[in-house]
Structure 1
């Protein structure tokens, strides 16, 4: 049965014209004439039987139908482009995996370990997109996500990777010796805007009440907090697994000998009925192996 699908040329012309709200600019982008774009759009409108643009004195404007259709067409063309690039890049067995990741976790923990994955599985390409909150896989092109939270979310399956141990750290130049939790009252506490109560929970776990526990500069990412602490701007509360290199190199030091296990853990999440992708199974097994030492250390108490 013949599919009721417009020509790819017509869809590409429509997507470009919709994005730019201009036939002329779309023609420049596609390296064709403006009249060619007009013909493609007219052909598409005849095909679907709906006006997608309104012509005005100032140019063209999408109709309501055109707005909705352009969004869907853009997503489909993105999918086609991504699949085409994968075939061009691989030209053989292997595959690719689209992963949502917590940015700092990906930068500080995952990426340094990826050379090992690529040595073992050179035919698999990993693509990353930032994701910090639950989302619907059906509304994205992602196959899986590495998520930091209490657990998975509805419609997904989750594999536990590791707990999150939070430690108070600072530059050795700022805090040269060991302190007690109550001693931090005289220091600037760097705050994670995504974890506004983290310091309060850390103090409470030690039976300490600190009046300034929510005061201090706020920053969005743990990588920002780590850099600020390295430069002596204050004391930061950061998951140990994200600053292992800074601790080993002496750029940061743990200033209070206490680790607080937060209410967040790291999980690999994917839809309950995922597309059977060998790349996902391979990556999941490798990731579990990389996280195993952290689970073992937590089970041993440190």
Structure 2
């Protein structure tokens, strides 16, 4: 149920207030909004009268918001951004059917993105909007319809479509590996690169090779793609998903440091809120993505 009309100022008034708070003067706000300074001042006065609250502190040409005004603008700004985003989605797909998808950057770039052309050609009625998120989040507050999740089935309140189990390989620049031995324990003496979200990956990898528990130190990265580039330039060894490592191995920029199998780090899933399972754009995308899944049967 909507609030009474008296609590809903015009978009023009809200935009004027938001611009003044951000820019600090009516003249700067007027220039950005393509209005006159007096028009901005009228909008500010109008919203104060409508709310019955002083929102602006006036000191000559300079304007500042009251504490209540600052608080109000912070909430209003989010709403204005949501309206703008909704309008952009409508313009991008006037027939309806947008899907807001949170992706992991490397998996999204190297596994999902090359497949999206096929989805677009089969389902032109659905527009997929992609944004990066590195960790699980609250669907209710973020506003995404679905997300790509790595790990295990430990995201509360969602349903899962398995996409691919991750197979990690230890790789390094050929010049760096030329100085190392062939045994797993020899690699522990080389610089090791780490991913923020998997701080124990090397420790688990060495344990899987029968090497006593290590707590390796080294450079930390927040994304696989950056870490892969650093490894290719000889900064250290990296544990990379095979789907990402393959192009570097094929080009010769990286080489396998060891043939041993890595530990089971988890898998990639499409996840979505349980109460949104029947939304048509999501159902369409989920049905298509199921056909792209590389998860082993059984």
TM-score range, shorter chain: 0.7 to 0.9
Distance 2:187 2:127 in 1: 45
Which residue of the other structure, out of 201, 205, 215, is the alignment partner of 1:202? 205
Match of 1:124 among 115, 123, 126: 126
Instruction: Look up the match of 1:234.
Output: 236
Residues in 2 aligned to 1:120 and 1:214: alpha-carbon distance in whole angstroms? 47
Q: Does 1:165 align with 2:152?
A: no
- In structure 2, the partner of 1:46 is 49
CA distance in 2, matches of 1:223, 1:168: 15
Structure 2 counterpart of 1:223 = 225
Specify every segment of 5 or more residues in structure 1 that has no aligned partner in the other structure, as ranges.
none
Deviations 1:193-217 (A, max 9, x none): 3322210111012220275x52222
Measured after TM superposition, the shift of residue 162 of structure 1 is 2.4
Contact (CA 8 Å) 1:10, 1:44: kept in 2 or not?
A: yes
Distance 1:192 1:130 in 2: 16
Q: Structure 1 residue 112 and structure 2 residue 114: aligned?
A: yes
Is 1:249 the equivalent of 2:251?
yes
Question: 2:193–2:237: 8 Å Cα contact kept in structure 1?
Answer: yes
Distance 2:248 2:125 in 1: 32
- Let me know the Cα RMSD of the aligned residues: 2.5
Measure, in 2, the Cα distance between the counterparts of 1:68 and 1:154: 32
Give the Cα separation in 1 of the matches to 2:274 and 2:24. Answer: 40
The residue that corresponds to 1:72 in the other structure is 75
C-alpha distance in 1 between matches for 2:82 and 2:122 = 27
* Per-residue Cα deviation, 1:133-191 (whole angstroms, up to 9, x for no partner): 22222222322111223324333333332222221012234336993312213322222
Matched residue count: 294
**Structure 2 residue aligned with 1:262:** 264
Matched residue, 2:140: 138
CA–CA separation in structure 1 for the residues paired with 2:278 and 2:42: 41
